[in-house]
Structure 1
Amino acid sequence: MTTQANHQTVSILGIPFINTSQTAFEQILYKRINDQQNTFVVTANPEIVMYAHEHPDYANLIKTADFIVADGIGIVIGAKLLETPVEERITGYDLFESLLKWGDQQHKSAYFVGAKPQVIQKLQEIVRNRYPHLTIAGTHDGYFDDDNQIVNDIRRTSPDMVFVATGYPKQEAFIKKNRDASNALWMGIGGSFDVITGTVKRAPITWQKIHLEWLYRVVKEPARIGRLLVLPKYLLKIIKQRYSKSLTGK
């Protein structure tokens, strides 16, 4: 990861996270977009870290990204436990909204891939109304087997930003395979299209401030309770990494 290597990073179970603030990171991205530098950003939470830990191919894939950011309070807690704290959490959704706002101000263009057909259609309406100076280079829902048509369209339209919201590991695999189609910012953002369209309600700001968005989602969507089981496993791995670190002195 040559780009991120030029910035301070924190390793969580072998995954290197850039250690910076959201504001500073946004400035990095704005410059790279303006300079038409091909940029791959992974927004990783504990689920993604654990998936990478259990799937070496995926771990190697996301390490080819230019930047991996700490999307989730679990990453922040893990970094503290390892006594190598990250400056702050940078959520994929907040980054997505900031980039749309900046793109609107700078008359940039964006391509959107992911979510259900009705959601991507609603997304177009919201982006046009909320960010009228941001060009929608193209959209495609997340239900596709052959990505050639999408990639050819991205290549043809040459957007400044490509947002892929198909969930891990599919979105990162799509970006890794196709990022040469445009010298753009490529970022996987999970369920962000559902949130911005109101299809899924984001936690109230009070829950966000105390870092309990994950609990709010479970309360609203009990089916997600199974996903919480990864957290104890993740924290146990972190403790083991800290113990190993203390023994080796590294």
Structure 2
Amino acid sequence: MAAGAVADADDRTRDRVLSAVLEHGPVSAAELGDLLGFTPAAVRRHLDNLSRAGVIEVKRAARSGGGAGRPARRYVLSSQGQSSLGNDYLDIAALALQQLQKAAGPDAVRAFAVERFADMERRYAPEIDKAGPDIADRAKALSDALSRDNFVSSAASIEAKAPLPAALSSVQLCQGHCPIQELASRFPVFCDVETEVFSRLVGVDVRRLSTLARGGHVCTTHIPTGRLSAPEPAGSPAAPASLVEVNNHQQERP
């Protein structure tokens, strides 16, 4: 095979690896190999090239189930990789929001963010309610819904070990891609409103640990699972069972 053809084939393969990191990240080299049908050595070669190019980064994550051993190496898109997806429309949106804030104040920007995430909440709520009252199950359903919307989400259960009480068990919800990352970095209220939606959907107060908008490798949300979701308020038959008051002081402020 000619050198040019080999280079083209390598580029196509590297693009496939990059797309898989975007879609499935945080993801390990072994998982990528299974997904793409490549040998571990071939996957790592392309991951090394992408890492040197600055478009992916290594995230060390606790192993599932909290077992002993070194943290697993998992790959996510870097800030440069996120930006390479194109953000011209976000620049236009940011300019429009700046004008809106100037004319009508920050409450108008928040109202815009609330409206944007209202559609997500309406679409996700029936599916998450089908998962039942268990918070871990609801968090997994939320992660699945986010992944279908290209947020590249995962949900890892973290079990509290003795002598810590089981009530301290949690799920870490990670999002490897944010379609409005640049917008959220300029207007943190988008992160705040999204966190509020997550809290209502799963049924407990949640806390943002990191966000892409603040330079994190992923958006990470801490979801406590040591109790059932909040019951439906008495005398409010129209309110969904998942609604709870959000503790804004527990949320990350980008």
TM-score range, shorter chain: under 0.3
TM, length-normalised to structure 2: 0.24
Larger radius of gyration: 2
Higher relative contact order (CA 8 A, sep 6+): 1
TM-score calculated relative to the size of structure 1: 0.25
